[in-house]
A and B are shown apart, each in its own frame.
Chain A
Protein backbone atom coordinates (compact mmCIF):
# COMPACT_ATOMS: atom_id res chain seq x y z
CA UNK A 1 0.00 0.00 0.00
CA UNK A 2 2.66 2.46 1.12
CA UNK A 3 4.87 1.41 -1.78
CA UNK A 4 2.04 2.09 -4.21
CA UNK A 5 1.47 5.56 -2.80
CA UNK A 6 5.18 6.30 -3.02
CA UNK A 7 5.40 5.09 -6.62
CA UNK A 8 2.32 7.09 -7.62
CA UNK A 9 3.61 10.18 -5.84
CA UNK A 10 7.00 9.94 -7.54
CA UNK A 11 5.37 9.43 -10.92
CA UNK A 12 3.20 12.49 -10.33
CA UNK A 13 6.26 14.55 -9.40
CA UNK A 14 8.06 13.41 -12.55
CA UNK A 15 5.01 14.30 -14.66
CA UNK A 16 4.82 17.72 -13.02
CA UNK A 17 8.51 18.40 -13.57
CA UNK A 18 8.29 17.60 -17.26
CA UNK A 19 4.86 18.96 -18.16
CA UNK A 20 3.72 21.53 -15.60
CA UNK A 21 6.77 23.47 -14.45
CA UNK A 22 7.31 26.55 -16.64
CA UNK A 23 10.79 27.28 -18.02
CA UNK A 24 12.70 29.51 -15.62
CA UNK A 25 14.06 32.90 -16.51
CA UNK A 26 17.67 32.56 -17.69
CA UNK A 27 17.67 28.79 -17.22
CA UNK A 28 14.93 27.64 -19.56
CA UNK A 29 14.07 23.97 -19.26
CA UNK A 30 17.40 23.29 -17.55
CA UNK A 31 15.58 24.18 -14.36
CA UNK A 32 14.25 20.60 -14.39
CA UNK A 33 17.62 19.42 -13.09
CA UNK A 34 17.01 21.47 -9.95
CA UNK A 35 14.02 19.29 -9.07
CA UNK A 36 16.39 16.36 -8.83
CA UNK A 37 19.43 18.23 -7.55
CA UNK A 38 17.86 20.06 -4.59
CA UNK A 39 16.01 17.03 -3.11
CA UNK A 40 19.02 14.69 -3.29
CA UNK A 41 21.29 17.36 -1.77
CA UNK A 42 18.74 17.84 1.01
CA UNK A 43 18.55 14.12 1.69
CA UNK A 44 22.33 13.75 1.75
CA UNK A 45 22.50 16.27 4.61
CA UNK A 46 19.52 14.68 6.40
CA UNK A 47 21.20 11.26 6.12
CA UNK A 48 24.30 12.67 7.76
CA UNK A 49 22.29 14.16 10.61
CA UNK A 50 20.49 10.84 11.12
CA UNK A 51 23.82 9.08 11.21
CA UNK A 52 25.13 11.51 13.84
CA UNK A 53 21.92 11.18 15.86
CA UNK A 54 22.20 7.40 15.79
CA UNK A 55 25.83 7.74 16.91
CA UNK A 56 24.73 9.69 20.00
CA UNK A 57 22.05 7.12 20.75
CA UNK A 58 24.49 4.25 20.27
CA UNK A 59 27.06 5.73 22.62
CA UNK A 60 24.35 6.32 25.23
CA UNK A 61 22.57 2.98 25.04
CA UNK A 62 25.07 0.62 23.34
CA UNK A 63 22.14 -0.85 21.42
CA UNK A 64 23.56 -2.28 18.18
CA UNK A 65 20.34 -1.41 16.33
CA UNK A 66 21.37 2.25 16.36
CA UNK A 67 24.63 1.30 14.70
CA UNK A 68 22.75 -0.46 11.91
CA UNK A 69 20.53 2.56 11.37
CA UNK A 70 23.51 4.90 11.42
CA UNK A 71 25.63 2.90 9.00
CA UNK A 72 22.77 2.25 6.57
CA UNK A 73 21.97 5.94 6.63
CA UNK A 74 25.60 6.81 5.89
CA UNK A 75 25.75 4.39 2.97
CA UNK A 76 22.57 5.81 1.46
CA UNK A 77 23.81 9.31 2.23
CA UNK A 78 26.93 8.63 0.19
CA UNK A 79 24.81 7.58 -2.80
CA UNK A 80 22.57 10.63 -2.52
CA UNK A 81 25.60 12.86 -2.03
CA UNK A 82 27.20 11.43 -5.17
CA UNK A 83 23.99 12.05 -7.11
CA UNK A 84 23.86 15.61 -5.80
CA UNK A 85 27.49 16.20 -6.78
CA UNK A 86 27.11 14.77 -10.27
CA UNK A 87 23.79 16.48 -11.02
CA UNK A 88 25.21 19.72 -9.61
CA UNK A 89 28.32 19.44 -11.77
CA UNK A 90 26.24 18.87 -14.90
CA UNK A 91 23.96 21.75 -13.98
CA UNK A 92 27.01 23.96 -13.40
CA UNK A 93 28.50 23.02 -16.76
CA UNK A 94 25.27 23.88 -18.57
CA UNK A 95 24.65 27.16 -16.78
CA UNK A 96 28.00 28.50 -15.51
CA UNK A 97 30.26 26.90 -18.12
CA UNK A 98 32.43 24.63 -15.96
CA UNK A 99 31.81 21.38 -14.15
CA UNK A 100 33.65 22.42 -11.06
CA UNK A 101 34.81 25.79 -9.78
CA UNK A 102 34.93 25.39 -5.97
CA UNK A 103 31.85 27.39 -5.34
CA UNK A 104 31.30 27.38 -1.53
CA UNK A 105 28.48 24.88 -1.84
CA UNK A 106 30.61 22.68 -4.03
CA UNK A 107 33.26 22.79 -1.32
CA UNK A 108 30.63 21.86 1.24
CA UNK A 109 29.29 18.93 -0.72
CA UNK A 110 32.82 17.78 -1.42
CA UNK A 111 33.69 17.73 2.28
CA UNK A 112 30.47 15.86 2.99
CA UNK A 113 31.47 13.31 0.36
CA UNK A 114 34.90 12.95 1.97
CA UNK A 115 33.33 12.46 5.39
CA UNK A 116 30.99 9.75 4.11
CA UNK A 117 33.91 8.03 2.39
CA UNK A 118 36.12 8.22 5.46
CA UNK A 119 33.32 6.95 7.73
CA UNK A 120 32.67 3.93 5.51
CA UNK A 121 36.40 3.21 5.07
CA UNK A 122 36.79 3.31 8.85
CA UNK A 123 33.91 0.86 9.29
CA UNK A 124 35.29 -1.58 6.78
CA UNK A 125 38.66 -1.69 8.52
CA UNK A 126 37.41 -2.88 11.92
CA UNK A 127 36.20 -6.44 12.22
CA UNK A 128 34.81 -6.72 15.70
CA UNK A 129 31.21 -5.52 15.71
CA UNK A 130 31.12 -3.56 18.96
CA UNK A 131 34.47 -1.88 18.41
CA UNK A 132 33.37 -0.94 14.93
CA UNK A 133 30.12 0.52 16.17
CA UNK A 134 31.82 2.49 18.90
CA UNK A 135 34.66 3.94 16.86
CA UNK A 136 32.43 4.71 13.89
CA UNK A 137 29.99 6.50 16.21
CA UNK A 138 32.80 8.62 17.63
CA UNK A 139 33.96 9.50 14.13
CA UNK A 140 30.45 10.39 13.01
CA UNK A 141 30.18 12.82 15.92
CA UNK A 142 33.65 14.26 15.41
CA UNK A 143 32.97 14.91 11.74
CA UNK A 144 29.56 16.41 12.50
CA UNK A 145 31.47 19.25 14.16
CA UNK A 146 32.38 20.53 10.74
CA UNK A 147 28.73 20.87 9.69
CA UNK A 148 27.98 24.23 11.34
CA UNK A 149 31.18 25.62 9.86
CA UNK A 150 30.35 24.25 6.43
CA UNK A 151 26.75 25.38 6.33
CA UNK A 152 26.82 28.69 8.17
CA UNK A 153 30.33 30.07 7.89
CA UNK A 154 31.97 29.07 4.62
CA UNK A 155 29.08 30.17 2.34
CA UNK A 156 29.18 33.57 4.03
CA UNK A 157 32.93 33.94 3.74
CA UNK A 158 33.15 33.45 0.01
CA UNK A 159 31.24 34.68 -2.98
CA UNK A 160 28.79 32.12 -4.34
CA UNK A 161 27.14 31.64 -7.70
CA UNK A 162 24.39 29.59 -6.09
CA UNK A 163 21.06 31.33 -5.77
CA UNK A 164 19.89 32.25 -2.29
CA UNK A 165 18.10 29.44 -0.51
CA UNK A 166 14.39 29.19 -1.25
CA UNK A 167 13.62 30.38 2.26
CA UNK A 168 16.25 33.10 2.46
CA UNK A 169 17.11 35.44 5.30
CA UNK A 170 14.46 37.95 4.29
CA UNK A 171 11.81 35.24 4.62
CA UNK A 172 10.58 35.84 1.09
CA UNK A 173 10.08 33.17 -1.49
CA UNK A 174 11.56 34.12 -4.83
CA UNK A 175 9.88 31.44 -6.88
CA UNK A 176 6.89 30.83 -9.06
CA UNK A 177 4.08 29.20 -7.07
CA UNK A 178 3.75 26.12 -9.27
CA UNK A 179 7.51 25.62 -9.15
CA UNK A 180 7.52 25.88 -5.39
CA UNK A 181 4.77 23.29 -4.94
CA UNK A 182 6.46 20.87 -7.31
CA UNK A 183 9.76 21.37 -5.53
CA UNK A 184 8.17 20.69 -2.15
CA UNK A 185 6.49 17.60 -3.58
CA UNK A 186 9.81 16.43 -5.00
CA UNK A 187 11.48 16.99 -1.62
CA UNK A 188 8.79 14.92 0.07
CA UNK A 189 9.07 12.14 -2.51
CA UNK A 190 12.85 12.00 -2.25
CA UNK A 191 12.79 11.95 1.56
CA UNK A 192 10.12 9.24 1.57
CA UNK A 193 12.16 7.17 -0.87
CA UNK A 194 15.19 7.53 1.38
CA UNK A 195 13.19 6.52 4.45
CA UNK A 196 11.76 3.53 2.60
CA UNK A 197 15.13 2.20 1.45
CA UNK A 198 16.66 2.89 4.86
CA UNK A 199 14.05 0.84 6.74
CA UNK A 200 14.36 -1.90 4.13
CA UNK A 201 18.14 -2.05 4.59
CA UNK A 202 17.89 -2.25 8.36
CA UNK A 203 15.19 -4.93 8.26
CA UNK A 204 17.31 -6.98 5.85
CA UNK A 205 20.25 -6.71 8.19
CA UNK A 206 18.09 -7.76 11.11
CA UNK A 207 16.71 -10.73 9.21
CA UNK A 208 20.20 -11.88 8.26
CA UNK A 209 21.37 -11.52 11.85
CA UNK A 210 18.39 -13.54 13.15
CA UNK A 211 19.04 -16.21 10.56
CA UNK A 212 22.68 -16.55 11.57
CA UNK A 213 21.71 -16.70 15.22
CA UNK A 214 19.13 -19.41 14.49
CA UNK A 215 21.63 -21.48 12.52
CA UNK A 216 24.17 -21.10 15.26
CA UNK A 217 21.69 -22.26 17.85
CA UNK A 218 20.74 -25.24 15.69
CA UNK A 219 24.35 -26.30 15.36
CA UNK A 220 24.85 -25.94 19.08
CA UNK A 221 21.87 -28.19 19.74
CA UNK A 222 23.22 -30.83 17.38
CA UNK A 223 26.43 -30.90 19.36
Chain B
Protein backbone atom coordinates (compact mmCIF):
# COMPACT_ATOMS: atom_id res chain seq x y z
CA UNK B 1 0.00 0.00 0.00
CA UNK B 2 1.32 3.49 -0.70
CA UNK B 3 2.50 5.11 2.50
CA UNK B 4 0.60 8.34 1.94
CA UNK B 5 -2.91 8.22 0.66
CA UNK B 6 -4.33 11.28 -1.00
CA UNK B 7 -6.64 13.40 1.17
CA UNK B 8 -10.10 11.92 1.12
CA UNK B 9 -11.91 14.75 -0.62
CA UNK B 10 -9.47 14.62 -3.50
CA UNK B 11 -9.69 10.84 -3.53
CA UNK B 12 -13.47 10.99 -3.60
CA UNK B 13 -13.42 13.30 -6.61
CA UNK B 14 -10.89 11.03 -8.28
CA UNK B 15 -13.21 8.03 -7.87
CA UNK B 16 -16.22 10.00 -9.06
CA UNK B 17 -14.25 11.33 -12.04
CA UNK B 18 -13.03 7.83 -12.93
CA UNK B 19 -16.53 6.41 -12.82
CA UNK B 20 -17.85 9.24 -14.96
CA UNK B 21 -15.04 8.80 -17.47
CA UNK B 22 -15.61 5.03 -17.75
CA UNK B 23 -19.31 5.62 -18.22
CA UNK B 24 -18.72 8.26 -20.90
CA UNK B 25 -16.38 5.91 -22.77
CA UNK B 26 -18.77 2.97 -22.90
CA UNK B 27 -22.11 4.62 -22.23
CA UNK B 28 -23.25 1.16 -21.24
CA UNK B 29 -25.18 1.86 -18.06
CA UNK B 30 -27.00 4.98 -19.07
CA UNK B 31 -28.08 3.73 -22.49
CA UNK B 32 -29.23 0.38 -21.09
CA UNK B 33 -31.13 2.12 -18.31
CA UNK B 34 -32.74 4.63 -20.65
CA UNK B 35 -33.92 1.87 -22.97
CA UNK B 36 -35.18 -0.14 -20.03
CA UNK B 37 -37.19 2.83 -18.79
CA UNK B 38 -38.57 3.53 -22.24
CA UNK B 39 -39.66 -0.07 -22.76
CA UNK B 40 -41.43 -0.45 -19.42
CA UNK B 41 -43.18 2.90 -19.66
CA UNK B 42 -44.32 2.46 -23.23
CA UNK B 43 -45.49 -1.12 -22.69
CA UNK B 44 -47.70 -0.06 -19.78
CA UNK B 45 -48.96 2.90 -21.74
CA UNK B 46 -49.72 0.67 -24.74
CA UNK B 47 -51.50 -1.88 -22.59
CA UNK B 48 -53.81 0.60 -20.95
CA UNK B 49 -54.17 2.57 -24.20
CA UNK B 50 -55.42 5.95 -23.16
CA UNK B 51 -57.23 5.19 -19.93
CA UNK B 52 -55.76 7.34 -17.22
CA UNK B 53 -54.23 5.86 -14.09
CA UNK B 54 -55.27 6.84 -10.59
CA UNK B 55 -52.57 8.83 -8.71
CA UNK B 56 -51.82 5.80 -6.50
CA UNK B 57 -51.24 3.51 -9.45
CA UNK B 58 -49.20 6.12 -11.30
CA UNK B 59 -46.99 6.62 -8.23
CA UNK B 60 -46.46 2.89 -7.83
CA UNK B 61 -45.62 2.52 -11.51
CA UNK B 62 -43.14 5.39 -11.42
CA UNK B 63 -41.24 3.92 -8.48
CA UNK B 64 -41.33 0.39 -9.80
CA UNK B 65 -39.75 1.62 -13.02
CA UNK B 66 -37.14 3.61 -11.15
CA UNK B 67 -36.34 0.71 -8.84
CA UNK B 68 -35.93 -1.87 -11.57
CA UNK B 69 -33.92 0.53 -13.71
CA UNK B 70 -31.63 0.99 -10.73
CA UNK B 71 -31.42 -2.78 -10.33
CA UNK B 72 -30.50 -3.16 -13.98
CA UNK B 73 -27.57 -0.78 -13.89
CA UNK B 74 -26.29 0.25 -10.49
CA UNK B 75 -24.47 -2.94 -9.54
CA UNK B 76 -22.02 -2.21 -12.33
CA UNK B 77 -19.83 0.06 -10.19
CA UNK B 78 -18.51 -2.93 -8.26
CA UNK B 79 -19.33 -5.92 -10.46
CA UNK B 80 -17.36 -4.48 -13.37
CA UNK B 81 -14.32 -3.84 -11.17
CA UNK B 82 -14.48 -7.38 -9.83
CA UNK B 83 -14.84 -8.99 -13.25
CA UNK B 84 -12.01 -7.09 -14.90
CA UNK B 85 -9.78 -7.38 -11.84
CA UNK B 86 -9.29 -3.64 -11.49
CA UNK B 87 -10.64 -3.80 -7.95
CA UNK B 88 -7.21 -4.81 -6.65
CA UNK B 89 -5.56 -1.71 -8.07
CA UNK B 90 -8.31 0.44 -6.69
CA UNK B 91 -7.80 -1.17 -3.30
CA UNK B 92 -4.09 -0.32 -3.43
CA UNK B 93 -4.64 3.35 -4.09
CA UNK B 94 -7.87 4.29 -2.41
CA UNK B 95 -9.27 4.11 1.10
CA UNK B 96 -12.67 2.59 1.72
CA UNK B 97 -14.49 5.85 2.41
CA UNK B 98 -13.36 7.51 -0.81
CA UNK B 99 -14.39 4.46 -2.84
CA UNK B 100 -17.82 4.02 -1.31
CA UNK B 101 -18.76 7.68 -1.38
CA UNK B 102 -17.33 8.22 -4.86
CA UNK B 103 -19.29 5.32 -6.26
CA UNK B 104 -22.35 6.22 -4.24
CA UNK B 105 -22.34 9.77 -5.58
CA UNK B 106 -21.86 8.47 -9.10
CA UNK B 107 -24.83 6.13 -8.73
CA UNK B 108 -27.00 8.92 -7.35
CA UNK B 109 -26.05 11.21 -10.23
CA UNK B 110 -26.91 8.41 -12.68
CA UNK B 111 -30.27 7.85 -11.04
CA UNK B 112 -31.06 11.55 -11.03
CA UNK B 113 -30.20 11.79 -14.72
CA UNK B 114 -32.40 8.79 -15.37
CA UNK B 115 -35.24 10.35 -13.38
CA UNK B 116 -34.92 13.55 -15.38
CA UNK B 117 -35.34 11.39 -18.47
CA UNK B 118 -38.24 9.35 -17.14
CA UNK B 119 -40.43 12.15 -15.82
CA UNK B 120 -41.12 13.81 -19.22
CA UNK B 121 -41.79 10.37 -20.73
CA UNK B 122 -44.05 9.61 -17.81
CA UNK B 123 -46.03 12.79 -18.40
CA UNK B 124 -46.28 12.16 -22.14
CA UNK B 125 -47.15 8.46 -22.09
CA UNK B 126 -49.42 8.29 -19.08
CA UNK B 127 -51.04 11.67 -19.33
CA UNK B 128 -50.19 12.67 -15.78
CA UNK B 129 -50.93 16.17 -14.63
CA UNK B 130 -48.22 17.53 -12.32
CA UNK B 131 -48.94 20.76 -10.49
CA UNK B 132 -46.62 20.52 -7.50
CA UNK B 133 -43.31 20.43 -9.34
CA UNK B 134 -41.11 21.37 -6.40
CA UNK B 135 -42.60 18.82 -4.01
CA UNK B 136 -42.32 16.11 -6.61
CA UNK B 137 -38.67 16.97 -7.33
CA UNK B 138 -37.87 16.89 -3.64
CA UNK B 139 -39.51 13.48 -3.21
CA UNK B 140 -37.80 12.12 -6.31
CA UNK B 141 -34.47 13.43 -5.05
CA UNK B 142 -34.86 11.86 -1.60
CA UNK B 143 -36.05 8.57 -3.09
CA UNK B 144 -33.19 8.44 -5.60
CA UNK B 145 -30.63 9.13 -2.89
CA UNK B 146 -32.07 6.24 -0.86
CA UNK B 147 -32.02 3.81 -3.77
CA UNK B 148 -28.50 4.88 -4.72
CA UNK B 149 -27.15 4.51 -1.19
CA UNK B 150 -28.66 1.08 -0.55
CA UNK B 151 -27.82 -0.23 -4.01
CA UNK B 152 -24.17 0.78 -3.82
CA UNK B 153 -23.57 -1.16 -0.61
CA UNK B 154 -25.40 -4.25 -1.84
CA UNK B 155 -23.49 -3.99 -5.14
CA UNK B 156 -20.25 -4.28 -3.17
CA UNK B 157 -21.64 -7.44 -1.56
CA UNK B 158 -22.91 -9.15 -4.69
CA UNK B 159 -19.68 -8.46 -6.57
CA UNK B 160 -18.16 -11.42 -4.73
CA UNK B 161 -21.04 -13.85 -5.23
CA UNK B 162 -22.29 -16.07 -8.01
CA UNK B 163 -25.49 -15.10 -9.81
CA UNK B 164 -24.86 -11.44 -9.19
CA UNK B 165 -27.70 -9.67 -10.93
CA UNK B 166 -30.52 -11.80 -9.59
CA UNK B 167 -29.17 -11.58 -6.09
CA UNK B 168 -28.71 -7.82 -6.34
CA UNK B 169 -32.47 -7.19 -6.54
CA UNK B 170 -33.20 -9.72 -3.82
CA UNK B 171 -30.75 -8.08 -1.42
CA UNK B 172 -31.65 -4.49 -2.12
CA UNK B 173 -35.44 -4.69 -2.02
CA UNK B 174 -35.99 -5.50 1.69
CA UNK B 175 -33.61 -2.73 2.71
CA UNK B 176 -35.39 -0.18 0.58
CA UNK B 177 -38.94 -1.22 1.40
CA UNK B 178 -39.58 1.17 4.33
CA UNK B 179 -38.33 4.06 2.19
CA UNK B 180 -40.36 2.79 -0.73
CA UNK B 181 -43.64 2.79 1.17
CA UNK B 182 -43.08 6.38 2.28
CA UNK B 183 -41.94 7.56 -1.14
CA UNK B 184 -44.85 5.96 -2.96
CA UNK B 185 -47.46 7.37 -0.62
CA UNK B 186 -45.90 10.84 -0.83
CA UNK B 187 -45.74 10.68 -4.64
CA UNK B 188 -49.38 9.58 -4.78
CA UNK B 189 -50.28 12.61 -2.69
CA UNK B 190 -48.38 14.96 -4.97
CA UNK B 191 -49.95 13.45 -8.08
CA UNK B 192 -53.39 14.07 -6.59
CA UNK B 193 -52.35 17.67 -5.94
CA UNK B 194 -51.93 17.67 -2.18
CA UNK B 195 -48.73 18.75 -0.50
CA UNK B 196 -47.16 15.89 1.50
CA UNK B 197 -46.64 16.47 5.21
CA UNK B 198 -43.32 17.40 6.75
CA UNK B 199 -43.17 14.16 8.76
CA UNK B 200 -43.06 12.15 5.54
CA UNK B 201 -40.20 14.25 4.19
CA UNK B 202 -38.35 13.91 7.49
CA UNK B 203 -38.88 10.16 7.41
CA UNK B 204 -37.40 9.90 3.91
CA UNK B 205 -34.49 12.21 4.67
CA UNK B 206 -33.85 10.35 7.93
CA UNK B 207 -33.80 7.02 6.17
CA UNK B 208 -31.35 8.38 3.59
CA UNK B 209 -29.11 9.64 6.36
CA UNK B 210 -29.20 6.28 8.16
CA UNK B 211 -28.30 4.50 4.93
CA UNK B 212 -25.35 6.87 4.38
CA UNK B 213 -24.01 6.28 7.87
CA UNK B 214 -24.46 2.51 7.55
CA UNK B 215 -22.73 2.52 4.16
CA UNK B 216 -19.80 4.40 5.64
CA UNK B 217 -19.43 2.08 8.63
CA UNK B 218 -20.11 -1.27 6.97
CA UNK B 219 -18.13 -0.76 3.80
CA UNK B 220 -14.86 -0.78 5.75
CA UNK B 221 -15.47 -4.46 6.54
CA UNK B 222 -16.11 -5.29 2.90
CA UNK B 223 -13.17 -3.34 1.56
CA UNK B 224 -10.34 -4.30 3.90
CA UNK B 225 -9.76 -7.99 4.40
Which residue, B167, B177, B207, B214, has most C-beta atoms of chain A within 10 A?
B177
A143 touches B178 (CB 8 A): no
Query: By the criterion of a CB under 8 Å from any partner CB, how many residues of chain B are at the interface?
Result: 25
A137–B221 CA distance with the chains assembled, in angstroms: 10
Given contacts A114-B174, A114-B177, A125-B167, contact A135 B160 (CB under 8 A): yes
B174 touches A153 (CB 8 A): no
Interface residues of A in 91-149 (CB under 8 A from B): 107, 111, 114-115, 117-118, 121-122, 125-127, 131, 134-135, 137-139, 141-143, 145-146, 149
Residue B52 lies at the interface, judged by CB distance under 8 Å to chain A: no
Expressed in whole angstroms, the minimum distance between the Cβ of A86 and any Cβ of chain B is 19
Given contacts A121-B170, A122-B171, A125-B163, contact A139 B157 (CB under 8 A): yes
B203 touches A153 (CB 8 A): yes
B174 touches A138 (CB 8 A): no
For A134, what are the chain B residues with a Cβ–Cβ distance below 8 Å?
A: 221-222
Residue B218 lies at the interface, judged by CB distance under 8 Å to chain A: yes
A142–B203 CA distance with the chains assembled, in angstroms: 18
B153 touches A142 (CB 8 A): yes
B171 touches A154 (CB 8 A): no
User: Which A-chain residue is minimally distant from B169 (CB atoms)?
Assistant: A118
> A138's contact among B177, B178, B221, by CB below 8 Å, is which?
B221
For A153, what are the chain B residues with a Cβ–Cβ distance below 8 Å?
A: 178, 203
Residue A34 lies at the interface, judged by CB distance under 8 Å to chain B: no
For A139, what are the chain B residues with a Cβ–Cβ distance below 8 Å?
A: 154, 157, 171
Residue A45 lies at the interface, judged by CB distance under 8 Å to chain B: no
For B175, what are the chain A residues with a Cβ–Cβ distance below 8 Å?
A: 142-143, 145-146
Expressed in whole angstroms, the minimum distance between the Cβ of B203 and any Cβ of chain A is 7
- The A interface is mostly helix, strand or loop, or mixed, namely helix
For A121, what are the chain B residues with a Cβ–Cβ distance below 8 Å?
A: 167, 170-171
A142–B152 CA distance with the chains assembled, in angstroms: 12
Residue B132 lies at the interface, judged by CB distance under 8 Å to chain A: no
For B160, what are the chain A residues with a Cβ–Cβ distance below 8 Å?
A: 126, 131, 135
B173 touches A142 (CB 8 A): no
Residue A59 lies at the interface, judged by CB distance under 8 Å to chain B: yes
Expressed in whole angstroms, the minimum distance between the Cβ of A54 and any Cβ of chain B is 14
User: Which B-chain residue is minimally distant from A148 (CB atoms)?
Assistant: B210
Expressed in whole angstroms, the minimum distance between the Cβ of B186 and any Cβ of chain A is 12
A117–B154 CA distance with the chains assembled, in angstroms: 15
Expressed in whole angstroms, the minimum distance between the Cβ of A64 and any Cβ of chain B is 15
Which residues of chain A have a CB within 8 Å of any CB of chain B?
Answer: 59, 107, 111, 114-115, 117-118, 121-122, 125-127, 131, 134-135, 137-139, 141-143, 145-146, 149-150, 153-154
What are some 12 contacts across the A-B interface (CB < 8 A)? Answer: A111-B174, A114-B177, A121-B170, A122-B167, A135-B157, A135-B160, A137-B221, A138-B221, A141-B214, A145-B211, A153-B178, A154-B178
